[in-house]
Structure 1
Amino acid sequence: MLSSYLSSMDTKSSQKTRRSFKKPFIFAKNCVYRPMRQISNMERNQKLPVDRPTYFTLNAPPSLVPAKKYSDISGLPAPYMDPHTKLRFANAEEYASMQHMPSDIINRYLSVRGYTSAV
């Protein structure tokens, strides 16, 4: 009985066990992998109608999520903005340092951000 048990264990261990959660990624037989460079070359060489979308003509609609605001001084997420200088800041230490800045440095920070004043 022991010998039959051992022989059945040997045959089981020699066979690979298939686990469904360890399936390797395999392309389907009818699916051909093409890198982006090959796709772009194919689209450029074909005479496609103007209304047919390609990788380079697709336009996404504008995002509904508001843009994130970052501090002009540290680059951290900035929930606050100084109403006088229009600089964004993340914490009280940055606000204290902004109070002692000359106006030309403040204008440089605003120009880096792309802010144009209406004045």
Structure 2
Amino acid sequence: MSFLLRLTSSLRGRKVGTDRFGNAYFEAKTNQPIYDRPRRWAIYAGGGREPTVVPPEWHAWLHHTVAEPLPERKRFPWQQEHRPNLTGTAQAYRPAGHDYAGGTRRVTGGDYEAWTPGS
């Protein structure tokens, strides 16, 4: 997180809260003239710039879907814990047949013939 962002956040905004991942959320002290509502922003933990680390409860608040941040708790047994986007990491989803997951695809009906250029 840059020095300028920290300074601007402390001067022009008020801290609303922090989520369980360490991200801090701010709201401007004045309304935007066009929308007649305050601007909201997040400062990600660790100085990263990855917006997928924002949990759904805070995402709703950031986008003015709810007036106050929702409580961060599981409300239903079928709900899973929020995970950031894992694309490009070793924990990324790789279906069966993917090169990194063994590279063997399921057997087809035998009528498949690979296309080659010029044929």
Name the TM-score class by shorter chain: under 0.3
The structure whose residues are more often helix, as a share, is 1
**Please, what TM-score do these two structures have when normalized by structure 2?**
0.20
User: Which protein, 1 or 2, shows the higher relative CO under an 8 Å CA cutoff with sep ≥ 6?
Assistant: 2
Bigger radius of gyration: 1
**Please, what TM-score do these two structures have when normalized by structure 1?**
0.20
The structure whose residues are more often strand, as a share, is 2
